Structure 1
Amino acid sequence: MTVDLRGGDWLDDNRANWDERVPVHLASTFYDRSPLRSGGSVLDPIARAGVAGLFPGGLEGVRVLHPQCHFGSDTLSLVNAGASAVGLDFSGPAVAEANRMAAELGVAERARFVEANLYDARLVLPEPGSFDLVFTTWGTIGWLPDVAEWARTIAWYLKPGGRLYFADGHPVAFVFAGDGGPGGLPSMQFPYSKDGPDVLEDPNDYADRDVAIEHAKTWEWIHPVDEVLSALRDSGLTIEHFAEHYEVPWQIYPATVPAGEGMYGWPAERWLPLSIEIVASAPTSPPVE
């Protein structure tokens, strides 16, 4: 299925859905921003440990690009730790709130948020090769039709030797949903690989189970692990690290239980991995034109 990356129903529907989620998420306890207001971080433990491993000396002087940043809480966590950052998101209300929060925290000189579809990033943020870190986590590529262009965009922004830090739900985990399996486990509902999106009508929101989203139609894609890794390699990046984890920072299925620090995992047996983590690096010198 061919999709126009710059626009169309998929983008309009997904953006309307996320625009409506912004006030829901701001009012929810799921997105508690009090740690930011005290100068701290809301990063989940997987991402927090991953970034610390990349920059053991800290983030002072590190320049970060955060695509699909929502209203910037993770971005501002990195800024609170010393980085300067640019956040990018396609939702106007999310970007407005992110810039407002940066001003409230007094970090607007080091945190800037830009509204754009990821595939239009280079039109609104023409800064090639200027970031030490591209950081993107949790609920990102599943909203994108083309991970090859996603990877090329990341590679375009990284400095020589710069790194991508990526964590997201495991594509295998997105094959399953609900509680219709044996013992209340999730059941198989979506194919692991298909040509085209799943077009869903789901008014539920992970941050507030009592809210019904009016703009409920979304277009979502499962990108198998080999597709993601191949896209990154084909963009010129080198895979430095790949890991699978058995926890995610939201209740991915009804059967998953709190595992501490906002994470959810299996109650007993590790039935399948729930998340993936990738670190990839740009060449240490730019390619010869």
Structure 2
Amino acid sequence: MSVELGSGDWLEENRANWDERVALHVASPFYDRSRLRAGGSVLDPIAQAGIDRMFPSGLDGVRVLHLQCHFGSDTLSLVNLGATAVGVDFSRPAVEEARRMAAELGVDDRVRFVEANVYDARHRLPEPESFDVVFTTWGTIGWLPDVAEWARIVAWFLKPGGRLFFADGHPAAYVFEGDAGPGGLPAFAFPYVGTGPDIIDDPSDYADPEARLVNARTWEWMHPLGEVFGALRDAGLTVDDFAEHYELPWRMFPITVPKGDGMFGWPGRQWLPLGYELVASRPVEE
């Protein structure tokens, strides 16, 4: 099934789903912002460690573009750590909450939030080669039909020498779902190489187990590692670092258990990686 980038049922239904989630997430302990209000960071351990490795001297003077920022908690964490930032999200309620929180924290002179879907970002934010970092983590490209265009957009915004920090669920784990496998393990549900969108009707929400969404229909895409790496290469970026992780900052499967610091992982054997991260850079032209 082909889709039109920047418009169509896939975009409208996904946006309605995420619009509805905003109020649930703002109220949920899953998105506790007490550390943010105290001037700190709510970055998960993987993202925090990645940023620390990239910028061991801190983020002062660093300009960050955060794509698919939801209601901006991670964006504002980067600002609290010293960066100036632009956050982009396609959900109007999410962007409104992000702006409200920036004002509450008194940092709205160092951060800007833009309402736009990723594929329209270049039109809504015409600032090519402006950013030291493009940051995007956890549950992002699976909502996008074309990862090659995503990579070109990332490259367009990065300064020469600028870097992408990307972390997401591992596509090898995304082939599984639920707890119908042996011993309560997840069972096969989706092919690793997708031929089109998986159109899913699921009223549940990862941040609020009691919630039942009205806008429950979503369109999602599988992007294997080879596709992601190839898209970044074809966009002119160089992958400098790559790591797989056996813990995630949300409960991907019912069998996963808390591991501390808001992370969840396998209860025993490390069956397969649950997430991955990479850093890619735009080469400096000689």
TM-score w.r.t. the length of structure 1 is 0.98
1:268 CA displacement = 0.6
Residue in 2 aligned with 1:251?
Answer: 251
Residue in 1 aligned with 2:88?
Answer: 88
| Whole-angstrom distance in 1 between the partners of 2:130 and 2:117 | 20
RMSD, aligned CA: 0.7
SS of residue matched to 2:30: coil
> Is residue 97 of structure 2 the alignment partner of residue 97 of structure 1?
yes
Structure 1 unaligned residues grouped into runs of 5+: none
| Whole-angstrom distance in 2 between the partners of 1:49 and 1:3 | 36
| Whole-angstrom distance in 2 between the partners of 1:5 and 1:53 | 34
| Whole-angstrom distance in 2 between the partners of 1:282 and 1:261 | 32
> Is residue 275 of structure 2 the alignment partner of residue 275 of structure 1?
yes
SS of residue matched to 2:21: helix
Q: What letter corresponds to residue 190 of structure 2 in structure 1?
A: F
After superposing on structure 2, the runs of 4+ consecutive aligned residues of structure 1 that deviate more than 3 Å are none
| Whole-angstrom distance in 2 between the partners of 1:228 and 1:180 | 29
Structure 2 unaligned residues grouped into runs of 5+: none
1:124 CA displacement = 0.6
Residue in 1 aligned with 2:228?
Answer: 228
Task: Name the % identity.
Answer: 70
Residue in 2 aligned with 1:77?
Answer: 77
Counting only pairs closer than 5 Å after superposition, residues 116-265 of structure 1 correspond to structure 2 as 116-265=116-265
Residue in 1 aligned with 2:61?
Answer: 61
| Whole-angstrom distance in 2 between the partners of 1:91 and 1:6 | 13
| Whole-angstrom distance in 2 between the partners of 1:145 and 1:6 | 10
Residue in 1 aligned with 2:51?
Answer: 51
Cα deviations by residue, 1:215-258 (Å, 9 ceiling, x for unpaired) = 00000001000000000010000000111000010000000000
| Whole-angstrom distance in 2 between the partners of 1:113 and 1:221 | 26
| Whole-angstrom distance in 2 between the partners of 1:246 and 1:161 | 30
Cα deviations by residue, 1:175-197 (Å, 9 ceiling, x for unpaired) = 00100000001011111112101
Cα deviations by residue, 1:202-223 (Å, 9 ceiling, x for unpaired) = 0000000001000000000010
1:109 CA displacement = 0.6
TM-score w.r.t. the length of structure 2 is 0.99
| Whole-angstrom distance in 2 between the partners of 1:17 and 1:194 | 22
Residue in 2 aligned with 1:2?
Answer: 2
1:277 CA displacement = 0.5
| Whole-angstrom distance in 2 between the partners of 1:139 and 1:111 | 22
Cα deviations by residue, 1:56-111 (Å, 9 ceiling, x for unpaired) = 01000000000000000000000000000000000000000001100100000111
SS of residue matched to 1:56: coil
Counting only pairs closer than 5 Å after superposition, residues 25-44 of structure 1 correspond to structure 2 as 25-44=25-44
Cα deviations by residue, 1:137-190 (Å, 9 ceiling, x for unpaired) = 000000000000000000000001000000000001110010000000101111
Number of equivalences:
286
| Whole-angstrom distance in 1 between the partners of 2:160 and 2:189 | 42
1:285 CA displacement = 2.5
1:126 CA displacement = 0.2
| Whole-angstrom distance in 2 between the partners of 1:108 and 1:207 | 27
Q: What letter corresponds to residue 265 of structure 2 in structure 1?
A: G
| Whole-angstrom distance in 2 between the partners of 1:195 and 1:185 | 26
Q: What letter corresponds to residue 206 of structure 1 in structure 2?
A: Y
| Whole-angstrom distance in 2 between the partners of 1:283 and 1:100 | 37
SS of residue matched to 1:229: helix
| Whole-angstrom distance in 2 between the partners of 1:68 and 1:111 | 15
